[in-house]
Amino acid sequence: DGTAKIVAVETGEEIARIDHDSGVLAVAWSLDGKQVATASNDGTAKVSTIQITVLRAKLCTERLSRNLTAQEWERYLDLNLTTYGRTCDNLPAHPSVTSRALELAGSNPDQALTILQHLIQIDPDADLDPATPDTQETEPQVAINNELARRKRRDGLQAVENKDIETATERFTEALKLNPKIDLNPDTKEIEQDIEAVIKAIQNQSN
């Protein structure tokens, strides 16, 4: 339609427009992101100065309600979440970044740790372990240990159901080493950490 439009990735809203008399063939940004060049079928090329700082401030205070999700960051900017940044400094990092890091805790703990370390640097108010809503976890390694402990507990509970008491005992022991405060039987109101008692209680429930 003879225009080049700059839009907000999250919302699709137009935030700037460059007009030509015919279709736009090509667009290129300057390295500093302050200028954009457009070439058109009308035989012209234009270099337009874009006040990104002003546009960002306007978007962050008037239009946007969140920062990019982990999926959006990977799709539009960088597959490496260790480069994740808050487009809007007045808004928190999206919780999906924490979730993605914790997903990696079992298969790639080093990468998970790096992502969480980066996240707490750019957003000191981030909760790195949302599974514990009563407390804000700001220590990356603790958050990873807590996640791994929950997985060990899950495996232990499954082993009890499968009547594999030896494996259940091993998994519960590993869970307690990772997180000495973990509740081995979350189905009860009390915090249960006696492995033998937990196994017997679950066995009695299933009988």
**What is the pLDDT, as a whole number, of residue 189?**
87
What mean pLDDT do residues 65-74 have?
Answer: 94
Proportion of the chain above pLDDT 70, given as a percent: 98
**E strand segments, the chain:** 3-7, 14-19, 24-29, 35-40, 45-49
Highest mean pLDDT: which of 3-12, 30-39, 112-121? 112-121
* CA pair distance 18, 38, nearest whole angstrom: 8
Split at pLDDT 50, 70, 90, the class of 49 is confident
Kindly report the backbone phi and psi dihedral angles of residue 116, in degrees, each rounded to the nearest multiple of 5, phi listed first.
-70, -35
Specify the amino acid at residue 65: S
Alpha-carbon span 149 to 174, nearest angstrom: 7
Checking if the pLDDT of 180 tops 80, the result is yes
User: What's the pLDDT score for residue 9?
Assistant: 73
- Say which residue, 164 or 189, is predicted with more confidence: 164
> Which tokens hold the place of 51?
């006040």
Quick one: average pLDDT of 192-202? 93
How many Å apart are CA 48 and CA 168, to the nearest integer? 65
Burial category of 198 from C-beta neighbours within 10 Å (exposed 0-12, middle 13-18, buried 19 and up): buried
**CA distance to 28, 76, 79, 143, per residue, from 131 (Å):** 43, 28, 25, 9
- Say yes or no to pLDDT of 85 above 90: yes
Task: Determine contact, residues 51/58, Cβ cutoff 8 Å.
Answer: no
Q: Please report the pLDDT score of residue 132 as a whole number.
A: 86
Confidence at residue 207, expressed as pLDDT on a 0 to 100 scale:
67
Per the CB < 8 A criterion, the answer to whether 100 and 79 are in contact is no
pLDDT at residue number 28: 93
Assess whether pLDDT exceeds 90 at residue 194. yes
Confirm if 113 and 140 have CB atoms less than 8 A apart: yes
pLDDT band for position 63 (cuts 50, 70, 90): confident
Structure tokens that stand for 161 in this block: 């159901």
Higher pLDDT, 112 or 205: 112
pTM exceeds 0.75: no
CB atoms within 10 A of CB 145: 20
The first and second tokens of residue 13, run together, are: 């809203």
Inter-residue contact 40 to 59 (CB < 8 Å): no
